[in-house]
Amino acid sequence: MLATFAIETVLAIWVGFRFSSGVFRTIACLLLLCLASFQLAEYQVCVGPLSLALTWGKLGLAGITVLPALGMHLIGTVTRRSGLITAGYVIAAVYIAAFLFLPGATGAPECNGNYVILQIQSGWFSFLYGTYYFVFIALAMAELALRLTQRNPPPGFGFSRRLIGLTLAGYLSFTVPMAITGLLSPELQRATPSIMCGFALSFAVILAVYVAPLYAREAAVLKRAA
């Protein structure tokens, strides 16, 4: 957890200093920092004072709750803007406010060594949260797949299939292992956020090392052409 936190933080700093300012850089840095914050929260849950476990669990949930919205926004910078971006941020803000300020919304997290089980107290609230999370991930991947297979992209769609494909590969790098893990070990489904964020280290590397540099090069070409 601590190593993953360090790697994702370094990647965020590298992206922030390496590339020129813009919406894409801001979103990429926020994505990486939110992933890192969850790893730090998990680490503190497992090794920190028991009295602070609930607080760190809430902060960890807040960090990952905005990820689907940020992911949709990131994709919007290379495909097309969508009303789903605003909807994602609104939904995320509601959940974050509930996790942080609604008494009894979350319970004390459980540390199981390699992963942490976060407790959302209400069954229907947990179901709606999971629905938001996986629907937005699925929609993001569907948008990328659609653009990747489109022979005649709409006007203004200037980014390469390689960039779209790399972004989709980033999503697949954590969703596919998570799906396999859930099928092979149903008991681990309770730890889905923790395990998924562990696999998301591969997404962080793909985003910082491959997607961000390619985006910067292609955006510069498009800017000069305009």
pLDDT in tens, 59-80: 999 999 999 999 999 998 888 7
The long-range contacts involving 200-204, CB below 8 angstroms and separated by at least 24 positions, are 200/35, 200/174, 201/4, 201/7, 201/8, 201/35, 202/170, 202/173, 202/174, 203/35, 203/170, 203/171, 203/173, 203/174, 204/7, 204/8, 204/11, 204/31, 204/32, 204/35
Q: Give the torsion through C-alpha atoms of 162, 30, 122, 188, to 10 deg.
A: 50
CB contact at 8 A, 69 and 91: yes
Which carries the bigger pLDDT value, residue 177 or residue 154? 177
pLDDT at 69: 95
Domain 2-225 architecture: Up-down Bundle (1.20)
